[in-house]
Structure 1
């Protein structure tokens, strides 16, 4: 019969796309066949309304799918009297692997019902459950997952083979008769009785329980029990960093404001941790000291649902790991490494193929913001903007918040958050991820992109690989990569014209060999020029300056002619030695870092002046203070943006009784206005067509909102799906490398 050969590209395998096509064809009287192959889903279709059939492939696609393209060509269709699901067309890695998805409503109802999966912690279907965390190879089928050891019982097999069932070809399908099991463990001995009930009793009794999830273990305790959280902080040596929380939506609403957009993000299949403003009932301050927001996620596995049903209160769910190390994923590893933290364990016997932290997101002033790209989003891909060549590139990111990016077939796969590469086990995880992604996606790069800093471990790895394999190596300046990532996420074309980037972060090696961090850049993917920057100040003690805010305050106050104020504020510090070091240049590199400027202001306001217990603590505490109006114009000295006038006004305001909250507001407003003024000028003079906002400081929703206000009327590009911090760096590096390859 005459018909169509239909190619569907995108996230279309492991999401129930073939049974969806089968049901659609039966409904519309279409005959033919559908199959998976190396490029996605292939359909041969004949019938009266093929136009409607093709349109419905996108319009009615399954919830976990993402259709990027539907390509049609005339052909002969061999099946004339039915529509069938044919065998897959062999292995290949051109199609996308689906991210893990939170338990769907049908499965959540099933574990609370009276059927054979009542209370079963591994219930899933085509519309939910583990994917990437259990995948060991392609194509995605049960034999290539950690479900391979569990042979399906006849009942599960019947569901798996029925195209009309929501478990048709759901690879992790299981039930209590044939699937993984969960148990409660204390002192290396298995507890007798229901694992969930035993765990709930332990947590209600104030104990800390390590719970095995999708991408690793969590350390769990009662979020209403201040003593339990204090014990967890002591054991984990985590004095101030906020804990993530888990609760059903109705319970979240008792403790937080939840807008419609925030509810949608919470209920997304990715189930990220979402930052929500505190409201209503109060939890102990130990959850997130000094913060105005709390990080909430909904239960995303049946085990989480069952545990929360038994608890009826919010739970702390923080990553199960030693400080600085990757999250624990194996049972033996958990006993060995988490035994000092946890009083008991909830274990199961389905292996985790790869560790994935929980993602962290928020609704910002311009919509969704990704702070940590992880479980539920990876390995989802991003389409490349128009004009880029079809070449394969691998980019290795930076030293902190490491993530890898692979580009292939017009798509960029930005990998999961790995952590800080100074830590030996994180470095091992980085190497494993590099090999893992390359094998899973059959990736053979033409070029390797790295940060400009030669001593970053990721840079050395990339250079060594390029040399060993004879690949092109592209060095990308840190802030150029940030800017390029923001442009690319917003589909800015390769030849879309110059953009001005405001890139504000901690530190990154500049093209002039100095340390940058507060930049106004002009250009595009191929190259940029530095047009303005924050006045540099010495980082007294090098890396110590990032941990001890008083050091940054001292040098900024000295620059502003306010040394007497510094003497009064920090009389207990070794000021003479610090000033001598700054004057000599010994281990005090000059830096334009806005991150360190945040630290300086926090120290002047008495906000953790001595030491930060986690990265960004001072800035996060400033962001949490109540807002006020008012700003001070920073001085412009040639290309330099000088904050000295702000510090003079800050001192005056505080002497007249102004609060720390007023000082924090004055800073946010003044900083935004200073950089926005430089960027607006470049757009209004015609040198740039838009402004891109990037760098870790733009995770601060307050700074972002004020900058957007100052840029009203100007086209502005912001991060949404990729992190503004170094977690998005590899994506930008890959874009710069591709652009330079296209120019050759």
Structure 2
């Protein structure tokens, strides 16, 4: 049988993952001649051989692909025989159209870890050890194709030993772009806060560990930016970090030196263990167990702890298996994570006592990802390092869109064909450093993916900085309602086209009626939506002040429920009111700086204040989080609520619920039980209203999104109740339910409207 010639084109995550040497060795195994090369769209293979060998070769490319590869498409075309006599790996081909997918940053693989800790290995204790199965990718890439001159490794010329590995197709470091060793690669140094090297004639990692043991705060430059680290068992060190970082109550994440020490502190399920040890190495929210003995102020009063395992070689060298360190983002609260050395010394100098730095540039910052397990599957609260820039696959091809996201927990999104690329976590666009980071990240990802957007999508809120950025692009603008975008994000993940019933529960989103929405029941597809129901409006006296001080909402509720006599009721709130409460009530009654809000988050704030749990907050969602913590482990009762139809729209009024809570408190009911009652009542009411809309429309697909659905007590109850009534719930599985997933929804809505 005569030989055939084929040209194979492969797209997906196929660069920087050992794909070419894999193809090279597979071709030799099958007796195939030809070549393989990277290009701007992926990988091209020219292959010649007998038909049976070619068939097996093509099948095994898919079946045996390297662990980090993700093949999106593989096409085979017949071509003329060229008479190749061997199989070669050719140099990368630059191209004008760049559609190759870029690998996220990947945790140290088992083989590199083994070498790192082997005294006989030439890379023993070398903190930049990597191979084609692991190491930095997205954070060091300046442009594609992914070759060393286009990464931040370009300044490090390989020594003969590293070059030999790099050139050898049989070696697992063949074309591993960050390949290096102690003789030719980057190095770590320990600096004091003035930037002066600490010279002590000993291993820099031993020296750094000594600082942690002495209770000092260490700033550590890693893969995607700086961390601030202290010993997680040192109460005074954790307290100092809180004070210096200006982070009063919000929980810190912890890095555990081993899975075993993690399990000594927290319960770890099989799925949680898979996430902890996965190549992405996210922070995983775990439940503390009875053996928990870390500093109380790490996650004060919280039954959960965010834990990650070492993902960079430096972490392995720093943390002994029994160590647990606080490992929090290197920033002052609300600012972006520091990733450039001079900026880190300037911004973190008032926080850190010492700096462990290296001389490999981080080109693109990436904060740690945060995930928890819900119904035995991952549920992302922040999607960043380890996952970005892997795309979300869409139901159909769309025009190229830039979706600029929201104001809080911002990410942006770019689309190309049937792929949506969500950015790494940017943060809250309420200060200039974060906004500057945001603008630079958009430009970089557009360049990297070679996407020229045809349209820009933004939130309807006219004052969001992201909206103003969209207006400055000069592109046609598609303005997308905040909660419609939330629902569309889940639809995009599950490739639903609708219509669906969407429950969008969050704190605040701009409504077309000028009010602040956030407790929405929408009938929606990927183009339009109808507001079928919503939570009754509550007054927000002082606007944003009422979000920071939930007592403002609660005192107005009490005045509405009981009139002038509300002070006669023996309630926690009436004993805790500040001196200016009368001014707040008067302003609300006169509607002075008192917007109306239907946000589910505001219900939680009001309940927490009424129950005496939290009157003012220090971080977003604190009152709701503490209300949920109070309810843990209790079975709630369903309290009375009002559900009425007004001009064809259902209104869910929780004032009777608040009256019931107050009455029960006066009768001596326990606050934790009432917190549980609140959760169960909201779940039951949401389910009843959803069923009414489903009965009227015939729609059975129910989509849940919005930051309030980070509340596991509410989420699990709603899903179980919906399932009991034969309704099919969908929730986020690839992007966050909070505003970190908003841009995906904006992108698909704008794309569909622009088709």
Length-normalised TM-score, structure 2: 0.94
Deviation string for 1:205-260 (max 9, x for gaps)? 11111111111111100001111101111111111111110012111111001000
Matched, 1:641 2:652: yes
Matched, 1:694 2:700: no
Matched, 1:724 2:728: no
Return closer, same or farther for 1:79/1:195 CA change in 2, 3 Å cut-off.
farther
Question: How far off its partner does 1:474 sit?
Answer: 0.3
Structure 1's unaligned 5+ residue stretches are: none
8 Å CA contact retained: 1:22, 1:34 = yes
Moved more, 709-718 or 181-190: 181-190
Residue 631 of structure 1 is matched in structure 2 by 638
Residue 107 of structure 2 is matched in structure 1 by 102
8 Å CA contact retained: 2:553, 2:606 = yes
Return closer, same or farther for 1:655/1:159 CA change in 2, 3 Å cut-off.
same
Matched, 1:605 2:611: yes
Residue 214 of structure 2 is matched in structure 1 by 205
**CA separation in 1, counterparts of 2:340 and 2:325?**
22
Which of 148, 164, 168 is matched with 1:142 structurally? 148
Residue 86 of structure 1 is matched in structure 2 by 90
**Corresponding residue SS for 2:319:** helix
Question: How far off its partner does 1:520 sit?
Answer: 0.2
Deviation string for 1:258-278 (max 9, x for gaps)? 000001111111111110000
C-alpha RMSD over aligned residues: 1.6
8 Å CA contact retained: 2:20, 2:37 = yes
Count the aligned residue pairs.
731
Residue 183 of structure 1 is matched in structure 2 by 189
Residues 90-489 of structure 1 correspond to what in structure 2 (within 5 A)? Answer: 90-91=94-95, 92-113=97-118, 114-186=120-192, 187-191=194-198, 192=200, 193-247=202-256, 248-279=258-289, 280-309=291-320, 312-365=322-375, 367-386=377-396, 388-389=397-398, 391-466=399-474, 471-489=475-493
**Corresponding residue SS for 1:385:** strand
Deviation string for 1:381-413 (max 9, x for gaps)? 111113x43x11101011111111000122100
Question: How far off its partner does 1:55 sit?
Answer: 2.7
**CA separation in 1, counterparts of 2:717 and 2:31?**
56
Structure 2's unaligned 5+ residue stretches are: none
**Corresponding residue SS for 1:482:** helix
**Corresponding residue SS for 1:711:** helix
8 Å CA contact retained: 1:211, 1:347 = yes
**Corresponding residue SS for 1:44:** strand
Residues 59-74 of structure 1 correspond to what in structure 2 (within 5 A)? Answer: 59-74=63-78
8 Å CA contact retained: 2:40, 2:144 = no
8 Å CA contact retained: 2:139, 2:364 = yes
Question: How far off its partner does 1:79 sit?
Answer: 4.9
Question: How far off its partner does 1:3 sit?
Answer: 3.4
Question: How far off its partner does 1:741 sit?
Answer: 1.2
Question: How far off its partner does 1:654 sit?
Answer: 2.7
Deviation string for 1:575-600 (max 9, x for gaps)? 21111111111111000011111111
**CA separation in 2, counterparts of 1:585 and 1:135?**
53
**CA separation in 2, counterparts of 1:477 and 1:77?**
57
**CA separation in 1, counterparts of 2:434 and 2:83?**
53
Return closer, same or farther for 1:673/1:142 CA change in 2, 3 Å cut-off.
same
8 Å CA contact retained: 2:481, 2:511 = yes
Deviation string for 1:78-120 (max 9, x for gaps)? 3544332222221442111111111111111111002111010
Question: How far off its partner does 1:683 sit?
Answer: 2.7
Return closer, same or farther for 1:492/1:569 CA change in 2, 3 Å cut-off.
farther
Residue 551 of structure 1 is matched in structure 2 by 552
Which of 24, 27, 30 is matched with 1:28 structurally? 30
Moved more, 513-522 or 575-584: 575-584
8 Å CA contact retained: 2:640, 2:660 = no
8 Å CA contact retained: 1:245, 1:296 = yes
8 Å CA contact retained: 2:410, 2:427 = yes
Moved more, 588-597 or 637-646: 637-646
8 Å CA contact retained: 2:532, 2:693 = no
8 Å CA contact retained: 1:15, 1:98 = yes
**Corresponding residue SS for 1:376:** coil
Matched, 1:616 2:631: no
